[in-house]
Structures are given as structure tokens and as C-alpha cells.
Amino acid sequence: MFRGFTFAICGIFVATLLLGAISFKLIGASNVLRASAIFVSFAIPLTLLLMPDLIGIRTRAFQYAYPSRIYSAGVTLVIAAFPVILNRDLILWPSRMLDWFGERPLRDLSFAMLTGFCGVSLLAISDAYFYRVRLDDELAQLSGFVSTESCTFCLEPTKFGLPNLSYPGIMPVYSMAHTLKHPELPPVIVFSQDDIGLYVSREQMEVFMSHQLVARRKKDDGYVPSSTR
């Protein structure tokens, strides 16, 4: 599935580039249409924030973020291969294809892709921020060892209008980070029995919880480390 998804995304990306280049070639020298197309490429990702029915797309965009490392490596290889690809003495058709598109359409396409990635980045920043804020609020109401089934937001944040940026196996890490961030709140570890050991073992969770309880007990008792006296 991972390999199929990677090839599918690469195919969609290449098809989008070709369609964009052809569109800018057909637009020609119209400054209004060119500027409008570039603006639309920026606005389309942000419109997902206004369409609750498409929240699944935002969820999948985060859940499949790891393949981005493959895309980055692929882009690096393509850039490194440009001197060979554009060498007319070795390969003629790439240069002919770029000449057919022309300088202006390709330049406009680069601007459109840049603004499109900016729109996607703003969408991701917005989703990550509001998800983190809501998750902090939910975890602040819990304490001790808590099953993910007891945290509705942890299981299905889409019911609250937010994309699902996690999965049960990673919740112990999220809740432990929350505990470290908020020493004024009771320590909490949210976990699923089926996913124990995926990222954090049961022993590690128990040691972490005991240390946090001791630290909070010392704080409540007014304990001050000798190095700060």
C-alpha cells in the first residue's frame, strides 16, 4: 500500500505539472488570467478549511506525511540529473519539450507551484495548531493511565471538526509530552492495550508516571533542590 500510494502521488504530481504548463501556455500573455491562475493555486488548499465534508483529505495528508522523505530524495535526484537531462548531445526530447512550452509558461508554472505549496503549508500549520490546542484541553481533564477509548477526541477528532493527526499507537507519546509541558496538571498517559510497545513500552510508561508523581509531590511539599538554595 505504501509503495502504491507513493507512485500514485508521484503520478498525480507529474500530471498536475503537465496540466499546469499546458494551461499557462494556452493562457498566453494575459496578465489578468496568469495572476488569477497563480492566486487560485494558493487559494485552493485553504478552501479545504471551509469544507467540513472534505476533512478526510486533510487527515490523509497528515497520515501519509512520511513518504515526503521519498519525494525529497526524488527531487534531489532530478535536480542532480538536470545537467544530463538537458544536455542536447545526450538526450534531445526534454529540451525540445521545454522549448515548446516556452519561457513564460514555465516561469508562471513555477510561481503557481510555489504559491500552492505556501497554501498547503498554511493549511497544515492551521490544522496542527488547532489540533494541539484542543488535544491539550482534552488531556488537561484526564489523569493517570487512561485508555484511548475514554478519550473521544483522541480516537475521532474529526467529530470535533478537526483532522485526525494521530493514531492510538502514538497517543502515549503525545500525552507524555503534554505532561512534561504542564507540570501544574496531574500526569496523564493515554494508551491502547493493543499498541503498547509500539513506541513506548509498559515499563517506560510506569517509570515515567512514577517520576512525574514524585516530582509533583515534591513541588506540593515545597521541596527546593539544593542546587537552587
Burial of 185 (0-12, 13-18, 19+ CB in 10 A): middle
Among 75, 94, 128, give the residue marking a domain's end.
128
Structural domain including 22 reads 2-128
Query: Could you tell me if residue 221 is inside a domain?
Result: yes
pLDDT tens-place string over residues 188-197: 999 988 777 7
3-class state of residue 73 by DSSP: helix
Residue-wise pLDDT for 150-171, tens only, equals: 888 988 898 888 888 887 678 8
Question: What is the percent of the chain with per-residue pLDDT over 70, rounded to a whole number?
Answer: 86
Structural domain contains residue 98: yes
Q: Domain count for the chain, please give it.
A: 2
Question: In this model, does residue 67 exceed pLDDT 60?
Answer: no
Q: What is the mean pLDDT of residues 61-75?
A: 62
Q: Is residue 201 part of a domain?
A: yes
For residues 209 and 226, the model is more confident at: 209
pLDDT digits (tens, 9 = 90+) for 96-140: 888 888 888 888 988 998 898 888 888 888 888 999 999 999 999
Exposure b/e, 75-94, CB count within 10 A at least 16 = b: eeeeeeeeeeeeeeeeeeee
Single pTM value for the model: 0.74
Distance (Å, whole) CA 52 – CA 3 = 29
- The reply to whether 134 falls in a domain is no
Q: What is the grid cell recorded at 101?
A: 512550452
Name the pLDDT band for 69 (thresholds 50, 70, 90): low
Query: In the 8-state DSSP scheme, what is residue 212?
Result: H
**C-alpha pair distances (Å), 119 with each of 10, 23, 46, 112, 209:** 19, 20, 6, 10, 40
pLDDT of residue 87: 76
Q: Of the candidates 116, 92, 107, which has an alpha carbon nearest to the alpha carbon of residue 25?
A: 107
Q: What is the tens place of the pLDDT at every residue in 195-222?
A: 777 788 889 999 999 999 998 888 776 6
Q: Measured between alpha carbons, how far is 192 from 195 in angstroms, rounded to an integer?
A: 5
Q: Is 129 exposed, middle or buried (0-12, 13-18, 19+ CB in 10 A)?
A: exposed
Q: How far apart are CA 41 and CA 221, in angstroms?
A: 58
Contact 46, 119 (CB under 8 A): yes
The pLDDT assigned to 6 comes to 64
Would 62 be classed as within a structural domain? yes
DSSP state of 47: H
